[in-house]
Structure 1
Amino acid sequence: MKMIRRDVSIPFLLIGCLGCLCSLPVGCNRAHYRKQADEEVYHTISTHAPLIQVPLQEYSIQPFPASRNLDVYKQDFPPMPQDDPLSNRYMHYVDHKKGYDWGKFGNRQFRENPAWPSLLPRNNDGEVVLSEDSSVKLARVNSRDYQLELEDLYLSALDVTFERFQFDVMYFGTHDTTFDVQGREFAGQTQSLLRLDDDFQVSKRFATGGQFVAGLANSIVWQFSGDDMYFASSLLDFTLIQPLLREGSRAVALERLTFAERALLANVRQMERFRRAFTVEVLTGVNAGAGPVRSGNFGQIGSVTNLPNLGSTGAGQAGGFYGLLQQLQTIRNQEANLAAVRDSLIQLEAAYDAGRIDLFQVDQTRQALYRAQSQLLTSQTRYQDAQDDFLIFLGLPPCLDVNLDESLIEPLNLLDPQFTELRDELALVIGESRELDPESDRTVIMEKFNTVADYQDQILDQMATVRTDLQQLLRNAPQRRRNLESLTKNNTFAGSFELTEFSPDTFDQRVETLQQAYQELELKVAQSYYDLLSLEEVAETLEPNEFRLRMVNAMVFLASDLLDLALLQAEIRVDAVVLPSVNLTDEQAFEIASVNRRDWMNARAAVVDSWRLIEVAGNALEADLDIVVDGQLGTLGDNVLGFRGENGRLRMSLQFDAPLTRLGERNNYRESQIAYQRTRRAYMEFVDSISGNLRSVIRRLDRNRYDFELRRSAIRVAISQVVLASLRLNQPPKPVAGQSGGQQQFGATTARDLLSALSDLLDAQNDFLGVWIDYQVQRMVLDRDMGTMQLDPYGQWIDPGTIDLENLNGIPGKPGKKTPSKSSGPAMDDFEEIPAPPGKEVPKEADLEWLRPLEGPRLLDKNLPEPPLPGAPAIQLVSQVTEDQQAENEPTSEKSDKQEGKQKNKQNRKLPEPAVRPAPLR
Structure 2
Amino acid sequence: MPGLAQVLRRRWIRKLFAAGLTLVAGVGCTRSHFRERADKDVEGVLTQKNIFPDWKIENWHVYPDARARHADPRKPDHPPYPPDDYASWLLSPNPQKPKKKYGAGRYEGQEYLQIIEQWDAENRAASDADVAPKQDNPSPIPDKPGEATAALLGGAATAMKPGEAANRPVEGFAFAFKSEEHPFRVSLDQTVELAFFNSREFQDRREDLYLSALPVTTQRYSFAAQALAAEDAVRSASGSLRPEGLQNQWNLNTAGSLSRLFPTGATLLVRFANQVVLDLTSPRPDIAVSNLSLTFVQPLLRGGGWAVTLEALTQAERTLLYAIRSYARFRKVFYVAIAGTGDYTNNPYGLQGLAVNLGRAIGNNLTAPTIGFLPVVLRASALENEKKNLAALDKILKLYRNLKEGGVVSDLQVVRVELQYLQSQARLLDVNRMYLDGLDNFKLQLGTPTNLPLELDDAPLRPMKKQVRRIELVYEQLSQLQAQAAQYNPTEQPARYRERWRTLLTESALVRGTQFAKSYPEAIGELRGLSDDDLKKRIEVQSEKRRKLLDQKADFQKLGREVPAAFELEIDAVENANDLASFEQALRRFEAEPWRRLSQERQAGERAAIFRTVLDAGTLVAVTARNQRLDLIREDWPHLPGLTVECDDLLKLPLDDAATKVAQTALNNRLDLMNARAQVVDAYRQIAVTANALQGVLNVQYDLNTGTPATDNEAFAFAGSRTRHALTLHAEPPFVRRVERNNYRAALIGFQRQRRTLMAFEDNILNDCRAGLRQLRSLAETYKVQQRSVELAYAQVDNARSTLLAPPDPTVKEAAGNPAALTEQLLQAQTQLLTAQNALYTGWINYLNARMNLYLDLELLPLDSRGLWTDDLPQPQLNPLAP
Mapping of residues 687-726 of structure 1, within 5 Å? 687-726=762-801
1:634 to 699, 704, 707: 707
> Structure 1 CA distance, aligned partners of 2:400 and 2:817?
12
1:655 paired residue number: 730
> Structure 1 CA distance, aligned partners of 2:358 and 2:222?
29
Secondary structure of 1:26's aligned partner = coil
1:616 maps to 2:689 = yes
Residue identity in the other structure for 1:616: V
1:603 paired residue number: 676
Deviations 1:384-416 (A, max 9, x none): 110000010111111112121112101222543
Give 1:257 shift.
0.5
1:795 paired residue number: 867
Secondary structure of 1:28's aligned partner = coil
Query: Is the Cα–Cα contact under 8 Å of residues 8 and 14 in structure 2 kept in the other structure?
Result: no
> Structure 1 CA distance, aligned partners of 2:451 and 2:512?
36
Query: Is the Cα–Cα contact under 8 Å of residues 5 and 230 in structure 1 kept in the other structure?
Result: no
> Structure 2 CA distance, aligned partners of 1:603 and 1:728?
66
1:760 maps to 2:832 = yes
1:388 maps to 2:463 = no
2:258 paired residue number: 202
CA shift in 2, pair 1:419/1:20, >3 Å: farther
Deviations 1:11-69 (A, max 9, x none): 45543443244343535322222222112111211111213544445332122221112
2:845 to 754, 765, 773: 773
Query: Is the Cα–Cα contact under 8 Å of residues 460 and 873 in structure 2 kept in the other structure?
Result: no
CA shift in 2, pair 1:289/1:5, >3 Å: closer
Query: Is the Cα–Cα contact under 8 Å of residues 172 and 200 in structure 1 kept in the other structure?
Result: yes
CA shift in 2, pair 1:707/1:22, >3 Å: same
Give 1:259 shift.
0.6
> Structure 2 CA distance, aligned partners of 1:695 and 1:465?
48
> Structure 2 CA distance, aligned partners of 1:9 and 1:335?
96
Query: Is the Cα–Cα contact under 8 Å of residues 623 and 658 in structure 1 kept in the other structure?
Result: yes
> Structure 1 CA distance, aligned partners of 2:797 and 2:260?
86
Give 1:758 shift.
0.8
1:592 maps to 2:645 = no
CA shift in 2, pair 1:760/1:398, >3 Å: same
Give 1:183 shift.
3.9
Secondary structure of 1:622's aligned partner = coil
> Structure 1 CA distance, aligned partners of 2:852 and 2:234?
71
Mapping of residues 204-603 of structure 1, within 5 Å? 204-225=260-281, 227=283, 229-290=285-346, 293-294=352-353, 319-413=371-465, 415-416=468-469, 572=633, 576-579=637-640, 580-581=642-643, 582=650, 583=653, 585-603=658-676
Secondary structure of 2:50's aligned partner = helix
CA shift in 2, pair 1:633/1:681, >3 Å: same
> Structure 1 CA distance, aligned partners of 2:758 and 2:406?
77
2:99 paired residue number: 103
Mapping of residues 46-195 of structure 1, within 5 Å? 46-89=47-90, 93=93, 99-120=95-116, 121-124=118-121, 127-195=183-251
Compare 676-685 and 222-231 and name the one that shifted more. 222-231
Secondary structure of 2:700's aligned partner = strand
> Structure 1 CA distance, aligned partners of 2:699 and 2:26?
41
CA shift in 2, pair 1:16/1:466, >3 Å: farther
Structure 1: where are the runs of 5+ without partners? 297-305, 310-316, 431-459, 468-497, 525-552, 800-889, 906-922
> Structure 1 CA distance, aligned partners of 2:463 and 2:560?
21
CA shift in 2, pair 1:251/1:745, >3 Å: closer
Deviations 1:569-623 (A, max 9, x none): 7994697132235346222211111111111110000011011001000000111
Residue identity in the other structure for 2:243: A
Give 1:502 shift.
14
Query: Is the Cα–Cα contact under 8 Å of residues 201 and 214 in structure 1 kept in the other structure?
Result: yes
> Structure 1 CA distance, aligned partners of 2:343 and 2:234?
63
2:31 paired residue number: 30
1:625 paired residue number: 698
- Superposed CA RMSD: 4.5
Deviations 1:710-756 (A, max 9, x none): 33333333333212211112313667999xxx999962222111001
Query: Is the Cα–Cα contact under 8 Å of residues 412 and 574 in structure 1 kept in the other structure?
Result: no
Give 1:227 shift.
4.6
> Structure 1 CA distance, aligned partners of 2:237 and 2:834?
98
Query: Is the Cα–Cα contact under 8 Å of residues 589 and 694 in structure 1 kept in the other structure?
Result: yes
CA shift in 2, pair 1:591/1:743, >3 Å: closer
> Structure 1 CA distance, aligned partners of 2:570 and 2:358?
50
> Structure 1 CA distance, aligned partners of 2:207 and 2:291?
46
Compare 262-271 and 343-352 and name the one that shifted more. 343-352
Query: Is the Cα–Cα contact under 8 Å of residues 337 and 370 in structure 2 kept in the other structure?
Result: no
Secondary structure of 1:197's aligned partner = strand
Give 1:682 shift.
1.4
> Structure 2 CA distance, aligned partners of 1:743 and 1:403?
52
Residue identity in the other structure for 2:108: E
Paired residue total? 688
> Structure 2 CA distance, aligned partners of 1:592 and 1:407?
31
> Structure 2 CA distance, aligned partners of 1:737 and 1:612?
91
Give 1:4 shift.
13
Larger Rg computed on CA atoms: 2
Structure 2: where are the runs of 5+ without partners? 125-181, 360-368, 484-506, 515-556, 584-611, 644-649
1:666 maps to 2:738 = no
Query: Is the Cα–Cα contact under 8 Å of residues 318 and 777 in structure 1 kept in the other structure?
Result: no
> Structure 2 CA distance, aligned partners of 1:699 and 1:356?
52
CA shift in 2, pair 1:368/1:685, >3 Å: same
> Structure 2 CA distance, aligned partners of 1:226 and 1:671?
68
Deviations 1:79-118 (A, max 9, x none): 1111112222467x46xxxx34443554334432243322
CA shift in 2, pair 1:234/1:287, >3 Å: same
Secondary structure of 1:257's aligned partner = helix
Mapping of residues 676-687 of structure 1, within 5 Å? 676-687=751-762
Query: Is the Cα–Cα contact under 8 Å of residues 81 and 107 in structure 1 kept in the other structure?
Result: no
Residue identity in the other structure for 1:767: A
